[in-house]
Amino acid sequence: MTTRPDTDCLRRFVFENTDVRGELVWLDASWRAVLERQSYPAPVRDLLGQAMAAAVLLSATIKFDGFLQLQLQGDGPVSLLLIEATAARTVRGLARWNGDVEGMDFRALVGEQARLMLTIDPGQGGERYQGVVPVERDSLAATLEDYFAQSEQLATRLWLAAGEERAAGMLLQQLPRGGSDEENWNRDVMLGETLTDDELLTLSAQDILHRLYHEEDLRLFDSEPVSFRCSCSRERIETMLRGLGYDEVRSVLEEQGAVSVSCEFCRQEYRLDAVDVEGLFAASDQPDVPPTRH
């Protein structure tokens, strides 16, 4: 009997008595919230959806209180993919592209000199970590598998899919527990390879795991909700503007009558008029601001 599909959630699972764990994720309203803010051509849209699903999966493999950022920079039509997933299971993302991308595959979209970066900010003042790998494979999933093999020395497999209404992903990972469990790992990966994009996008966690691993001893954990949320704020915009300096911000103000900054992730616009700008730079921690301005 088919069960109701999971929506906007992460489901973890483990293979009992083995070193293999897994995760499933579905983005529904959280994915559509991104598409409502920016219209993407289908190849870019699907790649962005895959990247968002991947970022949530990867963030769930680590214990932290901050955020994980997945960034792909390329020399093809897609010059940038930027995804941020937090420990609170929130996600946001954007893509930049140029030209006609109709019918392009992954390598054509990102070009020949693309690279993938993963940045982990553990929060609470911890030190950031960043890993970088060149894009040498024919899919985002395979590129991320290369990252784990090279940077983390963890055997990892990913399945990613996206469309107009939903993005989804599955991750399998072999934990380093000091022993060898290659037989179980190879069997679980081989069965995972039979999962189709359509099944990943339409079936529930119970149905997928039964379809793939009905002969395995599995434990499926409770659902964790995932949501779209942007971390932009007026305070962050003001901090950015202070970094530009008074003269630079004032020149924009004089030219345009106001300083307007739009968040690329959520399209929220922040507008500062002359009074706002003067107040912004009037704080006592801005010693370089002249005492009078006309």
What integer pLDDT is reported at residue 292 of this predicted model? 37
pLDDT tens string 148-180: 988 878 899 999 999 999 999 999 999 876 555
Model confidence at 287, pLDDT cuts 50, 70, 90, reads very low
Q: What is the pTM of this model?
A: 0.84
pLDDT tens string 83-140: 999 999 999 999 999 999 999 999 999 999 999 999 999 888 788 889 999 999 999 9
What integer pLDDT is reported at residue 291 of this predicted model? 39
**Quick check: 226 pLDDT over 50?**
yes
In sequence order, which residues have a C-beta less than 8 Å from that of residue 14 and are 6 or more positions away?
A: 20, 21, 22, 218, 219, 221
E-strand stretches of 45-196: 67-73, 78-86, 90-97, 115-121, 129-134, 156-162, 167-174
Name the amino acid, one letter, at 90.
T
**Quick check: 249 pLDDT over 90?**
no
Domains and CATH numbers, the chain: 9-228 (3.55.30.10), 234-280 (3.90.1280.10)
pLDDT tens string 43-99: 999 999 999 999 999 999 888 888 999 999 999 999 999 999 999 999 999 999 999
